[in-house]
Structure 1
Amino acid sequence: MLSEHQNDRAIQKARMEPVIFIPGSSATIRRFDDLIDTLNSESKAENAHSVLKVQVEKDGSLTYSGHLSSSNRQPFIVVGFARNEDNYPTIQADSQSMGKVMSELQSKYHFRNFSSIGHSNGGLIWTDYLENYYSSQSFHIRTLMTLGTPYNFSETSLTKKTTMLNDFIEGSDNLPKDLNVYSIAGSDDYTDDGIVNVQSVLSGKYIFQKKVAKYTQTTVSGDNASHSDLPENPEVVNLIRELILQNKGKNPRTNANKLKNVTNKNDRPDN
């Protein structure tokens, strides 16, 4: 086992920058399998992203499957929770558990930099973690991307803020100031994605605007834009590739305007 000093040196020298995924309520650690298969199908075998899955059991213990390759600069880590009910207390509890998960992952793999993706309530867990536990750990998060995340739960009006949204707004000063945040909403009819109301997703602006380096709202619509399909939506996959894997969000030549309202190429305006 490395001493604390040796571990600190290993963290500082680490080239690994994993992308860490959290699925939504009632979803398992297999939630992102199709997305990961799509991303890896574009790479040569030797350049494929290795995948580690971490299950947080109800007693707080961690179960690992898969592996991380030391040759990968951007391996994938999926963190799922056995306790994953759709309510605010569960999100808070899973966020606290995420602090333990991150500490254990760092002690095993010695990385400091990472990016994150959360689908649905997974984005809420990331938000709560960043506000309440991140600053006490020796990490640097580059990008947070949330997919269909209901920052105001089931409320359809931006004037009615839930306790959770108010808590997030109150704690937003704790967010990393250099963070890039991309909030992606899905829409069948520009109202909701079949489960989450678009206005609830857009209420993330009250949390992140003027608190982080960049906050961008994006809407995908048309085919494959329903809530459960968002992680496999071709436009979403393309955004993950460009903004997280290729880190083009920091390139001033990137056309940021195209991120304001992304429409699926299969969108049929006559429907």
Structure 2
Amino acid sequence: MWMLTEHQNDRAIQKARMEPVIFIPGSSATIRRFDDLIDTLNSQDKSNDNHSVLKVQVEKDGSLTYSGHLTKSNRQPFIVVGFVNNDDNYPTIQADSQALGRVMSDLQSKYHFRNFSSIGHSNGGLIWTDYLENYYSSQSFHIRTLMTLGTPFNFNESSTTKKTTMLNDFIEGSDNLPKDLNVYSVAGSDDYTDDGTVNVQSVLTGKYIFQKKVAKYTQTTVSGDNASHYWLPENPEVVNLIRELILQNKGKNPRNNTNKLKDESNKNDRPEN
């Protein structure tokens, strides 16, 4: 009976058309963090087939609370995964990434999808990075794209020569990253120094993790209205990037309004030891 159930699940996964976009908010943020962004994306969707929304909250005891629903006819529904335990420190990020592995397994058992894309705001991008290095390979998933928004890969450190323990761990584990992954790292900036919370240099150290390890690593900095750390997910340029690079999958040929993206995938600079 167990073998039959597993075989049926495997067949359902292989046949699945659903490719959700999975969002993770940053520290101290709730599962409502992306509500405005999702409303904007749905209002701009001209297909009249809005992206249904499912929210998963990981409680302090590790249990999962579901709200919302996924419409099976949606090819790209939205899933938001939030953590009650979301303090701003490395041990919490590690614990949340491990919990994310359990969430992903539970989601697949319920909805039988294999392919997905991911978006992480602030420390949400760190959780995705830790998950991809430490838990992804043991699961039957295929991630197409990771987009990080204002993610401080070197925490509060502004110097690229002073690497935190977390950054060093990410660099050391980067060989475990999916080789066919497309990564887009977006930094917000009020004055090209920081976004009011996160130092731009900390965001840009993501190149030491992903460069030469994934199929494509691209970084960009947006400025102007709604470019501060909190409002970054609602920034009009960010919304366009999400729509074109993830929802429309134009990563190989983005339109002109994304031509400020800086592709770092072929650079040879490596972190100093």
Alignment of 1:14-93 (within 5 A): 14-43=16-45, 46-93=48-95
Q: Deviations over 1:141-162 (max 9, x none)?
A: 0000000000000001000000
> In structure 2, how many angstroms separate the alpha carbons of the residues matched to 1:197 and 1:250?
29
Measure how far apart 1:257 and its partner are. Answer: 4.4
> In structure 2, how many angstroms separate the alpha carbons of the residues matched to 1:8 and 1:185?
38
* Percent identity between the two aligned chains: 88
> In structure 2, how many angstroms separate the alpha carbons of the residues matched to 1:257 and 1:238?
12
> In structure 2, how many angstroms separate the alpha carbons of the residues matched to 1:195 and 1:76?
27
Tell me, yes or no, if structure 1 residue 241 matches structure 2 residue 258.
Answer: no
The secondary structure found in structure 1 opposite 2:260 is helix
Aligned to 2:188: 186
Aligned to 2:108: 106
> In structure 2, how many angstroms separate the alpha carbons of the residues matched to 1:182 and 1:44?
25
Aligned to 1:227: 229
Measure how far apart 1:260 and its partner are. Answer: 2.2
Measure how far apart 1:180 and its partner are. Answer: 0.2
The secondary structure found in structure 2 opposite 1:249 is coil
Q: Deviations over 1:124-147 (max 9, x none)?
A: 000000000000000000000000
Measure how far apart 1:46 and its partner are. Answer: 4.6
Structure 2 unaligned spans of 5+? 264-273
> In structure 2, how many angstroms separate the alpha carbons of the residues matched to 1:228 and 1:257?
24
Tell me, yes or no, if structure 1 residue 153 matches structure 2 residue 163.
Answer: no
> In structure 2, how many angstroms separate the alpha carbons of the residues matched to 1:44 and 1:239?
17
Aligned to 1:202: 204
The secondary structure found in structure 2 opposite 1:47 is coil
> In structure 2, how many angstroms separate the alpha carbons of the residues matched to 1:147 and 1:187?
11
Aligned to 1:264: none
Q: Which amino acid aligns with 2:249?
A: N
Q: Which amino acid aligns with 2:237?
A: E
- State TM-score, norm by structure 2: 0.93
Measure how far apart 1:258 and its partner are. Answer: 2.7
Measure how far apart 1:167 and its partner are. Answer: 0.0
Aligned to 1:129: 131
> In structure 2, how many angstroms separate the alpha carbons of the residues matched to 1:207 and 1:257?
23
Aligned to 2:269: none
Tell me, yes or no, if structure 1 residue 141 matches structure 2 residue 148.
Answer: no
> In structure 2, how many angstroms separate the alpha carbons of the residues matched to 1:45 and 1:198?
36
Q: Which amino acid aligns with 2:248?
A: Q
Q: Which amino acid aligns with 2:132?
A: L
The 10-residue stretch of structure 1 (100-109 or 242-251) with the greater mean CA deviation from structure 2: 242-251
> In structure 1, how many angstroms separate the alpha carbons of the residues matched to 2:121 and 2:177?
19
Structure 1 unaligned spans of 5+? 262-271
Measure how far apart 1:21 and its partner are. Answer: 0.1
> In structure 1, how many angstroms separate the alpha carbons of the residues matched to 2:214 and 2:6?
31
Q: Deviations over 1:12-57 (max 9, x none)?
A: 0000000000000000000000000000112358500000000000
Tell me, yes or no, if structure 1 residue 11 matches structure 2 residue 13.
Answer: yes
Q: Which amino acid aligns with 1:168?
A: F
> In structure 2, how many angstroms separate the alpha carbons of the residues matched to 1:133 and 1:250?
28
CA RMSD of aligned residues (A): 1.5
> In structure 2, how many angstroms separate the alpha carbons of the residues matched to 1:123 and 1:43?
25
Q: Which amino acid aligns with 1:209?
A: Q
The secondary structure found in structure 2 opposite 1:241 is helix
Tell me, yes or no, if structure 1 residue 119 matches structure 2 residue 121.
Answer: yes
The secondary structure found in structure 2 opposite 1:111 is coil
Q: How many residues align?
A: 260
